[in-house]
Amino acid sequence: MWPAVANSLQQTIYRLGTLYSVYRLTLSFCLISIFLFTSEHNGLNYLHSKLYFDSLIIFAVMSLIQLLALRFIHQFIAQQLFAIFIVDILFLSTLTFSLGGPNLSISLLFVIMVFSANFLLQKNEALIVTLISVIAVIYQQFVGSFLDISNLNNISNSALLAFLFFIVYGIGQISIQRFRVLETINSLQSLELLKLQNINRYILEQIELGYLVLDENYRIVVCNPAACSLLGIAPLYAYSHEQYSLIKFQKELFDLLQKRPLEDGQRFQFDSAQSHYTIDIRVQKLLVPHQALSLLTLEDAQKINQKAQQLKLASLGQLSASIAHEIRNPLAAISQANELNLDADEEQRLMLNQMIQKQTHRINHIIQQTLDMAKNKKTTISDIQLEVFFKDLFINDLADVKNKIALSLPQNYVIQFDDSQLRQVLINLIRNAIRHNSHDADFIQILVHTEAQHLFIDVIDFGQGITHQNLAQLFQPFFTTEINGTGLGLYLSQSICEANQAKLIYIEQKKQQGACFRIECPFKT
């Protein structure tokens, strides 16, 4: 058993033992009072009235002494409790003897004592108390008969009472086992609850957002340090277990809430002379049994504006970087065509000029496409015949590296994709593959194959591949292993594929060295 649970059980037994001691002292005074009021009229009921009265006085004194000892001496609690029951046995046996044998009242007191012993003592100690009680009840009859003070007529009553003791002992043991199980469960649940309370308190203390919980009478139930700081309330109140009225500590907020009843999802800003902040407040109703609570989430409005501005700047930076990244490829084609134009004949110059013009249009188209993506415009999906598509891609977009590409296209598959966006993705993947290809490899591979209702376009190189530590960040924006890279190519490519109901994933190469990026999309058979 856990130490905390065992300690909880010991404390419970101590409390019950104290209550039982109070019961004994109260019982002794009640019996003394009854004797004093009835002895003159019912003297015949007491066979040995002096012994009876002396036993009550001694028992009252012993009960008081043992109660004080249990209250102020916290050592040897188990021994003190055992001594209490020994005194009880001696006292009740004396009463039984002085009354001439067992009667209903004394028997009931014996049963209560035996039953209580099961709760307050260990199993073996409770059994000892039960056996001593049996011996005291039965054998005091024999002693009385030898002294001609009583006879054996009451021996059957004593035997029945002794049998009842064993029954009570058995019932008590069953009850105490269940009681201890319930107490253990309760203690464990209390420990878990305390642990959760400590965790919740720590989280509330560390979190930057302010949380203020109010009941229906605008009393503060919870107010974490961040909320105290925003509202201008001393942190001391956040740790108190008492409930404080909001009007006492933040009257301006109280007056504002009085004017506008709290509704779920409500949001407003609050300024106070007591606080240096403009506070953004969001209201949420809490579903708590038998209580109407409102959670007010507080945040510095200036920080919210700063976060919004940072997001705008980040989006602007990402948009600018993505445009710069995507126009590199057509600019490279224009630059190459311009260099070739110097030594070209008339026919070649015409072809190169057409290529330059086409790539210029493509740059403009990329910029427009990126802006459309930023504005969440819909993608224009159309049927693409891959045989025609790859032929045009190699001639117009990858002319400088087409001899480094090995295409495996078993048949003219048709897929649904935005033509220009698929072109962007493949140009990015192919040029990345060529850039990372092994120096010993003459080409990269593009494998097109199908499975069920899906078509796969694998772009494979034979370089070093992707290290395991980089796999988790592979498609994250601005993550790159290249010095001059922007880290947006794979991120934008994946975003484009998702916009076309396709997937871009990395396939780890197990049989060969290199990297494989796969476009998975539905296709028409």
Q: What is the pLDDT of residues 404-448, one digit of tens each?
A: 999 999 998 999 888 888 998 999 899 989 988 888 888 999 999
* Confidence grade of residue 2 (pLDDT, cut at 50, 70, 90): very low
| In a shared domain, residues 136 and 80 | yes
Torsion angle in degrees (nearest 10) through CA of 151, 156, 162, 165: -130
| In a shared domain, residues 16 and 165 | yes
How far CA 71 is from CA of 15, 22, 62, 361, in Å, comes to 10, 11, 14, 95
The pTM (predicted TM-score) of the whole model is: 0.40
Max mean pLDDT among 45-54, 317-326, 480-489 falls in 45-54
Instruction: Tell me the per-residue pLDDT of 412-423, one tens digit each, with 9 for 90 and over.
Output: 899 988 888 899
Q: Is residue 341 a part of any domain in this protein?
A: no
Mean of per-residue pLDDT scores for the chain: 78
Percent of the chain with pLDDT over 90: 8
pLDDT (0 to 100) of residue 126: 78
* Confidence grade of residue 160 (pLDDT, cut at 50, 70, 90): low
> Of 159, 189, 219, which marks where a domain is finished?
189
Number of domains in the chain: 3
Q: Is residue 464 a part of any domain in this protein?
A: yes
Instruction: Tell me the per-residue pLDDT of 20-61, one tens digit each, with 9 for 90 and over.
Output: 888 888 888 888 888 887 766 555 466 677 888 888 888 889
Q: Is residue 183 a part of any domain in this protein?
A: yes
What's the domain range around 393? 380-524
- Using CA atoms, how far apart are residues 191 and 246, in angstroms rounded to an integer? 32
Query: Please, which residues bridge with residue 296 across strands?
Result: 212, 283
- Using CA atoms, how far apart are residues 72 and 14, in angstroms rounded to an integer? 12
Q: Which residue has the higher pLDDT, 487 or 11?
A: 11
pLDDT (0 to 100) of residue 511: 73
| In a shared domain, residues 251 and 104 | no
Q: Which residue has the higher pLDDT, 495 or 65?
A: 65
What mean pLDDT comes out for the span 498-506?
Answer: 86
| In a shared domain, residues 242 and 141 | no
Q: Is residue 312 a part of any domain in this protein?
A: no
Strands (E) located in 215-306: 219-223, 244-245, 267-271, 278-288, 291-300
**Which of 131-140, 297-306, 349-358 is predicted least confidently?**
131-140
Q: Is residue 353 a part of any domain in this protein?
A: no
pLDDT above 70: residue 157: no
| In a shared domain, residues 274 and 407 | no
* Confidence grade of residue 5 (pLDDT, cut at 50, 70, 90): very low
Q: Is residue 278 a part of any domain in this protein?
A: yes
Q: Is residue 424 a part of any domain in this protein?
A: yes
| In a shared domain, residues 24 and 169 | yes
Torsion angle in degrees (nearest 10) through CA of 220, 221, 222, 228: 10
| In a shared domain, residues 429 and 506 | yes
| In a shared domain, residues 412 and 273 | no
- Local structure of residue 101 (DSSP, 8 states): S
* Confidence grade of residue 1 (pLDDT, cut at 50, 70, 90): very low
pLDDT above 50: residue 385: yes
How far CA 393 is from CA of 324, 357, 371, 402, 424, in Å, comes to 21, 16, 23, 9, 10
Q: Is residue 198 a part of any domain in this protein?
A: no
Instruction: Name residue, tokens 């947006």.
Output: 488
How far CA 118 is from CA of 115, 121, 123, in Å, comes to 5, 6, 7
How far CA 458 is from CA of 217, 389, 444, 525, in Å, comes to 65, 16, 10, 19
| In a shared domain, residues 60 and 168 | yes
pLDDT (0 to 100) of residue 459: 93
| In a shared domain, residues 436 and 512 | yes
pLDDT (0 to 100) of residue 141: 58
Instruction: Tell me the per-residue pLDDT of 92-114, one tens digit each, with 9 for 90 and over.
Output: 888 877 776 666 677 777 778 87
Q: How many other β-carbons are positioned within 10 Å of the β-carbon of residue 443?
A: 16
pLDDT (0 to 100) of residue 369: 58
Q: Which residue has the higher pLDDT, 92 or 472?
A: 92
pLDDT (0 to 100) of residue 105: 73
pLDDT (0 to 100) of residue 454: 86
> Of 302, 327, 349, which marks where a domain is finished?
302
pLDDT above 90: residue 518: yes
**Which of 5-14, 383-392, 508-517 is predicted least confidently?**
5-14
pLDDT above 80: residue 473: no
pLDDT (0 to 100) of residue 478: 57
Instruction: Tell me the per-residue pLDDT of 265-301, one tens digit each, with 9 for 90 and over.
Output: 787 888 888 888 888 888 888 887 778 888 888 888 8
| In a shared domain, residues 107 and 236 | no
What mean pLDDT comes out for the span 51-77?
Answer: 86
> Of 302, 319, 338, which marks where a domain is finished?
302
pLDDT (0 to 100) of residue 350: 82
| In a shared domain, residues 275 and 218 | yes
pLDDT above 90: residue 390: yes
Q: What CATH number is associated with residue 286? A: 3.30.450.20
- Using CA atoms, how far apart are residues 103 and 255, in angstroms rounded to an integer? 72
Strands (E) located in 233-329: 244-245, 267-271, 278-288, 291-300
Q: What CATH number is associated with residue 459? A: 3.30.565.10
